Structure 1
Amino acid sequence: MMRAAAWWDGTLRTDLSVAQVAEALRSPDAQVWIDLTDPTAEALGELTETLYLHPLVVEDIVERNQRAKVEVSEHYAHLVMFAFRLDGELTESEIDFVLGDRFLLTSHLAEWDPDRSHELRGGLGPILSRGADLLLWALVDDLVDSYFPLFDQIDEEIDRLEDLIVARPNSGTIERIFDLKRQLMTIRRATSPQREIFNQLTNRELPFVKAPHILYFRDVYDHLIRLTDELDSFRDRLTGALDAYLSAVNNNLSEIMKRLTAVTVVVAGVGALAGIFGMSEAGAAFLGAEAPGFWLVTLAIVGASAAAAFFLRRIRWL
Structure 2
Amino acid sequence: MRKRAKKRTENYKKHVGQIPGTLVYTGKKSDKKLHIESFDYNKEHVEETVLLNIADAIPFKDTDSVTWININGLQYTKEIESIGNQYGLHPLVLEDIVNTAQRPKIDEYDDYLFVVLKMLYYDKDENIVIEQVSFVLGKNYVISFQESEGDVFDIIRERLRLGNGRIRGLKSDYLLYALIDAVVDNYFSIIETLGNKIEDLETELFAGTAREGVNIEIQQLKREILKVRRAIFPLREIISRIEKGEHPLIYKRTITYYRDVYDHLIQVSENIDIYREMIWSLMDMYMTTISNKMNEVMKVLTIMSTIFIPLTFLAGLYGMNFKHIPELNYHNGYFVLLGVMLVMFIALLFYFKRKKWL
TM-score by structure 1 length?
Answer: 0.89
Residue type at the aligned position of 2:242: L
Residue type at the aligned position of 2:93: V
* SS of structure 1 residue aligned to 2:150: coil
Which stretch has the larger CA shift, 111-120 or 69-78?
111-120
Q: Which residue does the alignment assign to 2:31?
A: none
* SS of structure 1 residue aligned to 2:318: helix
* Corresponding position: 1:150 with 2:185: no
Which stretch has the larger CA shift, 260-269 or 71-80?
71-80
Q: Which residue does the alignment assign to 2:100?
A: 64
* SS of structure 2 residue aligned to 1:101: coil
* SS of structure 2 residue aligned to 1:70: strand
2: CA distance between counterparts of 1:304 and 1:121?
88
Offset at residue 121 of structure 1 (A): 5.9
Count of matched residue pairs: 316
Instruction: Assess, with a 3 A threshold, how the Cα gap between structure 1 residues 8 and 306 changes in structure 2: closer, same or farther.
Output: closer
Q: Which residue does the alignment assign to 1:141?
A: 181
1: CA distance between counterparts of 2:40 and 2:165?
8
CA contact (8 A) 2:225 2:276 kept: yes
Which stretch has the larger CA shift, 249-258 or 17-26?
17-26
Q: Which runs of 5+ in 2 are unaligned?
A: 1-34
CA contact (8 A) 1:31 1:129 kept: no
2: CA distance between counterparts of 1:171 and 1:204?
54
1: CA distance between counterparts of 2:160 and 2:325?
99
* Corresponding position: 1:96 with 2:137: no
Which stretch has the larger CA shift, 272-281 or 165-174?
165-174
1: CA distance between counterparts of 2:298 and 2:160?
64
Pick from 247, 256, 259 the counterpart of residue 288 of structure 2.
247
Offset at residue 74 of structure 1 (A): 2.7
Offset at residue 177 of structure 1 (A): 1.9
Q: Which residue does the alignment assign to 1:232?
A: 273
2: CA distance between counterparts of 1:58 and 1:283?
103
* Corresponding position: 1:32 with 2:59: no
Q: Which residue does the alignment assign to 1:265?
A: 306
Residue type at the aligned position of 2:67: V
* SS of structure 2 residue aligned to 1:279: coil
Instruction: Assess, with a 3 A threshold, how the Cα gap between structure 1 residues 172 and 121 changes in structure 2: closer, same or farther.
Output: farther
How do 1:179-194 residues align onto structure 2 when only pairs under 5 Å count?
179-194=220-235
How do 1:269-308 residues align onto structure 2 when only pairs under 5 Å count?
269-282=310-323, 286-287=327-328, 291-308=331-348
Q: Which residue does the alignment assign to 2:32?
A: none
Q: Which residue does the alignment assign to 1:78?
A: 114
Offset at residue 144 of structure 1 (A): 0.7
Instruction: Assess, with a 3 A threshold, how the Cα gap between structure 1 residues 266 and 47 changes in structure 2: closer, same or farther.
Output: same
TM-score by structure 2 length?
Answer: 0.80
* Corresponding position: 1:5 with 2:5: no
* Corresponding position: 1:221 with 2:256: no
Q: Which residue does the alignment assign to 1:166?
A: 206
2: CA distance between counterparts of 1:9 and 1:242?
55
CA contact (8 A) 1:276 1:283 kept: no
Percent of pairs with identical residues: 28
Offset at residue 222 of structure 1 (A): 0.6
Offset at residue 134 of structure 1 (A): 0.9
Offset at residue 201 of structure 1 (A): 1.0
CA contact (8 A) 1:41 1:59 kept: no
1: CA distance between counterparts of 2:168 and 2:70?
13
Residue type at the aligned position of 2:37: R
CA contact (8 A) 1:70 1:79 kept: yes
Kindly report structure 1 stretches of 4+ aligned residues shifted beyond 6 Å: none
Which stretch has the larger CA shift, 47-56 or 119-128?
119-128
1: CA distance between counterparts of 2:342 and 2:43?
104
2: CA distance between counterparts of 1:283 and 1:157?
73
Offset at residue 21 of structure 1 (A): 4.1
Instruction: Assess, with a 3 A threshold, how the Cα gap between structure 1 residues 183 and 262 changes in structure 2: closer, same or farther.
Output: same
Q: Which residue does the alignment assign to 1:107?
A: 145
